[in-house]
Amino acid sequence: MENQNEKGNHYPTQRKQIIYNDFSDCGMEDVFQVIGQAAPLIRTQPEKSVLILSDFTGSVHNAQLLSALREFTAGNAPHVKASAIIGMTGMKKVLYDTVMKFTGRNIPIFDDADQAKEWLVTQ
């Protein structure tokens, strides 16, 4: 069951809550809105406690997005237990590789949300 609130959703799955960052079909303004909603929520949680699923299906990818995601991902790192990504194809994979390099994180990419959620709840 999904509980949606704008572009930031929560999936209560197997008694674990997953923060869903919905970047799907987002333009730059929307990306900043999702980051603005998610960052305070994530960064007020205990260290190593947050599960995150980010969906980049159909989203834009450019240098401005790279910078915003790098800062967002690095700032969240102390609070995140595990993250997963869906919708990362084509040139967005280059963006992904760059963000991972700069943040030192290794966030797996999945084909769909169900696979990602199944993996997240085992972490």
- The domain ranges of the chain are 3-120
Q: Which two tokens stand for residue 68?
A: 């915003």
Chain-wide mean pLDDT for the chain? 86
Q: What is the pLDDT of residues 89-119, one digit of tens each?
A: 888 888 788 888 887 888 999 999 999 999 9
d(Cα 112, Cα 109) in Å, to the nearest integer?
Answer: 9
Residue 122 has pLDDT above 90, yes or no: yes
Report in angstroms the alpha-carbon separations of 49 from 22, 78, 79, 81, 98.
Answer: 20, 9, 6, 5, 25
pLDDT at 123: 93
Residue range 23-70, pLDDT digits in tens: 999 888 899 999 999 999 999 999 999 999 999 999 877 888 888 888
Pick the CATH number of 3-120 from 3.40.50.300, 3.30.750.24, 1.10.40.60, 3.40.50.1820: 3.30.750.24
Q: Where are the beta strands (DSSP E) in 1-123?
A: 3-5, 8-13, 16-22, 50-55, 80-86, 109-110
Whole-number Å distance between alpha carbons of 95 and 97: 6
CB 87 within 8 A of CB 58: yes
Q: Which pLDDT does position 1 carry in this prediction?
A: 35
